[in-house]
């Protein structure tokens, strides 16, 4: 039996849960207690929230919604909501089963992902599901069922082209904005590549954050199709479309342990590819002590699983396992990374060579995989369209189609107003770059939320430096963050200088 | 580097997390984002909370604390708090280890329980720890290490007596207030029995909730010792002392899956016994399809583990495995159960015989275990002190020592003002009582929070009833809750009537 309450927008954000605040006496009358799940519906919208209670903040007859809910939805003044108590989710039974070591079927996964996506499972219940993934390895059949279920519980983008290519980085390396270089290369050669990217979660910049420096990135499925029709490609945020929506919430509870189960990563990547109808895929897998994949053994096992699943879904996949410890590019943080990308695409004198090389390598692999280039010719062709300016022309089309300024120059990129230089304390050769320290410091400076903040690496691995020579530069919006970063740098080092 | 902010009490309760609300701009300047853990200290107090952010609700210079925090602490007006960002807890590493199937040592458990107790581990991180308990069974050595660690991360009560006895019910059966009958019997015979009980979590009444109808139950360690010195016993709430404090928070994240790992239950019980210095223990373990322990096989395995651990800590234990489907006593809900207890102790004509019998059985076992009675004589002695009024006299002492009215009569117990009678739809014999339905309905009526609400069972298993004869009575504070319960009773039945 539903209750009807007037919606009040409350100015509180939890950053992780959808909370609705009820008057405590009213909640008690309705049999709802703090912590219960309720469903709130109005007009065509509905949301699952957790009930909190208050003595005075919310009057009887009203329901207060936190910013986490109303920030992304339209709620007109004086809206009346229907409120229903939510029974325990059925999928809880499936999670229990998995926790106790039993195998799950497609319909179990579908129910679980659907309940996670719709907020019917709580954070704690979702955590139990993720925990189960740590302990009993999934069979190949289960992995395929999960991929299909995760894709099908969200939106499915269909393109008319026979060949739809994609490149994906499993991440963990600072900088590494190869996507923004490789996509225009590939699209300029006539391949269809509708690229959806995530925002940063644990890193200082995701591809979506960086592209947003150059153009808007939030589009719905219809808009994305129009952009791709016009330019063969797009560089948009995945969150604007409802692709594999369970994935984001699973990621949120994986983060506290900072240990992403490999199976989970695999499913998350492949589900999104299935949902976008990808036919040819190159996976960039950086392997190194400070990246996500620590050694070749794990990389090889993952490669096998990627191959197995891809085959089931008729996707041709190539896993590019690349040893890497060093950031790609010189900038870390959305604006600094966007500047690197522009320097490469516009072939400026000071372009970061490693970013260009790696992008060409990956683009070349995809050209060969999709049959656009003969074996061994991919990188050469990619290099030619980059050098000739053809790739930059394509990028200008994409920027324009997404509503940005196609004539932007690297020097137009605005950086944060406050900066500090760090110089070499002694002469020597840089023998180690700490990728994790770079990520940590860049986040302390404000990246990725603050797009103008970040680190510019004036030197890189292998460089010989003289005492007092500039090593790197920190950018931040205020002096306080620079001070915080300076404190952190007393405990960790970005570069290690040898003799 | 700490920040200093003025405390503002906010009128919001989440029922599960300690939340501090920060101004969003200030939080950003300090490098704190929604979801981060912070430590807030003032005078001699400190609390770990989760940061939420707000644009307007909290002005710069202030920190808002939710009711979950300030309800149980003294905070004077204009208090300035020191706020520190909290690094990721070390115990997260131990939890990861366990998730990946490795064994943990005493110091790992100590760190985990200590961080859980102090709120340093988040709810999500605690969930990962509990999930790990589902999957890999603990070794006996691990169980002992957990018991010791859980006890030692809290307060340890020491009594001077050589013999300290206790009875414990693993729970799951409605009614079953044997503790409140057995304790005065045992104490009247000179045994020391400092009983700490929990409040109800999933049931409609815990021993602490029920005792609170007769006297206050929240006391600190010093006060408990004084009560025990005066009367040999106490009947207090465990939450007033800091016994095995990690246990409560672990319970909170176990609840959503409504599956308590048996190992967890075992550790939780034994840790509290170790912390209170118990030397002789009887465990009441009801076994039945609607209780916590579904069959004899599991009961026997648990008994073995209890014996193993108890031996390590020099505790003599007797596990009383009793087949049970039917509630013990006629009342369900704190006040109705308290009335049953008084009727038994005061030997009224209408006392529930099953409650008296089971209490005598358990008290008898403990008398024999502790050497106060010869083998086979325990129940007889227990029965004598109950019948003679000696046990009620002792209960009066305990009620008085805890600040209640020792001259209370069962008829003085106040029940909720609104009630509904339910009569037999046809004649026949009651062939089944649904313990779970009873718990659910009693909670819908408002128990345990509303002490006056609950169910009175006018009939019990095995009774022959005539059509139209009264089966049970529901009590609630308002008519709305009676209506809710009535709706629920269309989906479930308390009694099943056979031919």
Q: What angle do CA A280, A161, A281 make, to 5 degrees?
A: 10
Inter-chain contact A96–B54, Cβ cutoff 8 Å?
A: no
CA distances from B138 to A191, B230, B260, B261 (A): 55, 41, 15, 11
Is residue A335's pLDDT more than 80?
yes
Question: Which of B13, B261, B436 best probes binding to A when mutated, by most A CB atoms within 10 angstroms?
Answer: B13
pLDDT band at A430 (very low <50, low <70, confident <90, very high): very high
Confirm or reject CATH 1.10.150.20 for domain A414-498, answering yes or no.
no
Tokens of B167: 């009875």
Cβ-contact A379, A360 below 8 angstroms: yes
User: Rounded CA gap, B414 and A202, in Å?
Assistant: 57
Which of A76-90, A483-497, B204-218 is predicted least confidently? A76-90
Of B96, B131, B256, the CB nearest to A259: B96
CATH fold group of domain B3-85: Barwin-like endoglucanases (2.40.40)
My answer on whether omega of the bond before A230 falls inside 30° of 0, hence cis, is no
The torsion region of residue A374 among left (phi > 0), alpha (psi -120 to 50) and beta comes to: beta
Please give the average per-residue pLDDT across B265-287, as a whole number: 93
**Cβ-based contacts of B11 with chain A (< 8 Å):** 54-57
For residue B260, what pLDDT is reported?
Answer: 67
Is residue A88's pLDDT more than 70?
no
Whether B134 and chain A come into contact, CB under 8 Å, resolves to yes
pLDDT band at A172 (very low <50, low <70, confident <90, very high): low
Is residue B269's pLDDT more than 80?
yes
User: Rounded CA gap, B349 and B341, in Å?
Assistant: 13
Q: Note the pLDDT tens digit of each residue in A202-232.
A: 788 999 999 999 999 999 999 999 999 999 9
Please give the average per-residue pLDDT across A39-61, as a whole number: 87
**Cβ-based contacts of A481 with chain B (< 8 Å):** 29, 31
**Cβ-based contacts of A52 with chain B (< 8 Å):** 12-15
Inter-chain contact A54–B14, Cβ cutoff 8 Å?
A: no
Better-scored residue on pLDDT, B360 or B136: B360
Which of B52-56, B234-238, B252-256, B284-288 is predicted least confidently? B252-256
- C-alpha distance from B253 to closest chain A C-alpha (Å): 7
Which of A92-96, B27-31, B106-110, B248-252 is predicted least confidently? B27-31
Please give the average per-residue pLDDT across A6-32, as a whole number: 84
Inter-chain contact B481–A96, Cβ cutoff 8 Å?
A: no
CB < 8 Å from A in window 205-224 of B: none
For residue B76, what pLDDT is reported?
Answer: 86
Secondary structure class of A203 (helix, strand, coil): coil
Q: Which of A86, A12, A28, A18 is nearest to A60 (CA)?
A: A28
pLDDT band at A411 (very low <50, low <70, confident <90, very high): very high
Secondary structure class of B30 (helix, strand, coil): coil
Q: Note the pLDDT tens digit of each residue in B168-195.
A: 988 767 678 999 999 999 999 999 999 9
Angle between helices A390-401 and A378-387 (to 10 degrees): 70
Q: CATH number of the domain at B414-497, please?
A: 3.90.1170.30
- Indicate the average pLDDT of chain A: 90
Q: CATH number of the domain at B165-401, please?
A: 3.40.1030.10
Q: Which of A90, A110, A258 is nearest to B128 (CA)?
A: A258
Where are the domains positioned within chain A? Answer: 3-85, 91-136, 165-401, 414-498
Please give the average per-residue pLDDT across B72-101, as a whole number: 84
- Indicate the average pLDDT of chain B: 90
pTM: 0.75
Q: Which of A369, A372, A338, A335 is nearest to A355 (CA)?
A: A338
User: Rounded CA gap, B89 and B115, in Å?
Assistant: 7
Cβ-contact A198, A208 below 8 angstroms: yes
Kindly identify which residue of chain B lies nearest to residue A96, measuring between CA atoms.
Answer: B257
Cβ-contact A487, A427 below 8 angstroms: no
- C-alpha distance from B200 to closest chain A C-alpha (Å): 14
**Cβ-based contacts of B487 with chain A (< 8 Å):** 1
User: Rounded CA gap, B71 and A234, in Å?
Assistant: 53
CA distances from B131 to A98, A134, A247 (A): 11, 10, 20
Please give the average per-residue pLDDT across B140-150, as a whole number: 95
Q: What is the 3-state secondary structure (H, E, C) of B240-291?
A: HCCCCCHHHHHHHHHHHHCCCCHHHHHHHHHHHHHHCCCCEEEEEEEECCCC
Please give the average per-residue pLDDT across A387-414, as a whole number: 97
Q: What is the ipTM of this complex?
A: 0.72
Whether B124 and chain A come into contact, CB under 8 Å, resolves to yes
Cβ-contact A365, A320 below 8 angstroms: yes
Of A33, A67, A487, the CB nearest to B15: A33
Is residue B316's pLDDT more than 80?
yes
CB < 8 Å from B in window 79-108 of A: 88, 92, 95-96, 99-101
User: Rounded CA gap, A308 and A140, in Å?
Assistant: 8
User: Rounded CA gap, A104 and A79, in Å?
Assistant: 42
Is residue A51's pLDDT more than 70?
yes
């Amino acid at each position: 039996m539903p209750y009807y309450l007037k919606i009040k927008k409350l100015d509180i954000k939890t950053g992780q849960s959808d909370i609705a605040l009820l008057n405590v006496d009213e909640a008690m009358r309705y049999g709802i207690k703090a912590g219960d799940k309720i469903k709130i519906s109005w007009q065509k919208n509905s949301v699952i929230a957790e009930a909190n209670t208050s003595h005075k903040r919310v009057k009887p007859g009203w329901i207060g919604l936190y910013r986490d809910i109303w920030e992304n939805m339209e709620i007109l003044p004086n809206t009346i909501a229907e409120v229903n108590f939510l029974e325990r989710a059925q999928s809880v039974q499936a999670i229990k089963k998995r926790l106790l070591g039993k195998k799950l079927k497609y319909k179990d996964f579908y129910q679980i992902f659907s309940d996670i996506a719709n907020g019917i499972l709580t954070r704690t219940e979702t955590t139990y599901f993720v925990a189960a993934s740590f302990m009993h390895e999934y069979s190949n059949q289960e992995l395929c069922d999960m991929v299909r279920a995760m894709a099908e519980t969200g939106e499915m983008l269909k393109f008319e082209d026979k060949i739809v290519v994609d490149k994906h980085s499993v991440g963990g390396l600072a900088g590494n904005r190869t996507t923004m270089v490789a996509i225009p290369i590939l699209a300029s050669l006539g391949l269809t590549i509708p690229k959806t990217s995530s925002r940063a979660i644990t890193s200082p910049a995701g591809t979506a954050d960086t592209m947003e420096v150059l153009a808007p990135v939030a589009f719905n499925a219809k808009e994305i199709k129009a952009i791709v029709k016009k330019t063969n490609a797009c560089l948009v945020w995945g969150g604007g479309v409802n692709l594999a929506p369970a994935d984001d919430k699973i990621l949120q509870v994986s983060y506290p342990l900072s240990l992403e189960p490999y199976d989970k990563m695999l499913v998350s990547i492949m589900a999104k590819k299935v949902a976008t109808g990808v036919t040819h895929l190159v996976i960039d897998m950086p392997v190194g002590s400070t990246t996500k994949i620590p050694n070749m053994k794990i990389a090889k096992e993952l490669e096998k699983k990627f191959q197995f699943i891809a085959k089931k879904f008729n996707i041709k996949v190539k896993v590019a396992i690349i040893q890497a410890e060093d950031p790609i590019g010189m900038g870390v943080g959305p604006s600094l990374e966007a500047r690197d990308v522009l320097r490469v695409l516009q072939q400026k004198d000071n372009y970061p060579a490693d970013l260009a090389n790696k992008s060409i390598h990956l683009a070349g692999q995809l050209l060969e995989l999709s049959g656009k280039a003969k074996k061994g010719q991919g990188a050469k062709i990619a290099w030619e369209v980059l050098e000739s300016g053809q790739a930059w022309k394509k990028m200008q089309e994409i920027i324009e189609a997404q509503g940005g300024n196609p004539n932007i120059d690297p020097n137009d990129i605005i950086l944060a107003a406050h900066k500090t230089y760090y110089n070499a304390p002694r002469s020597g050769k840089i023998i180690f770059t700490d990728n994790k320290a770079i990520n940590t410091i860049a986040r302390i400076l404000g990246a990725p939320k603050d797009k103008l903040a970040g680190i510019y690496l004036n030197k890189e691995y292998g460089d010989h430096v003289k005492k007092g020579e500039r090593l790197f530069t920190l950018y931040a919006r205020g002096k306080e963050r620079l001070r915080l970063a300076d404190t952190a740098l007393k405990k960790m080092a970005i570069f290690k200088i040898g003799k």
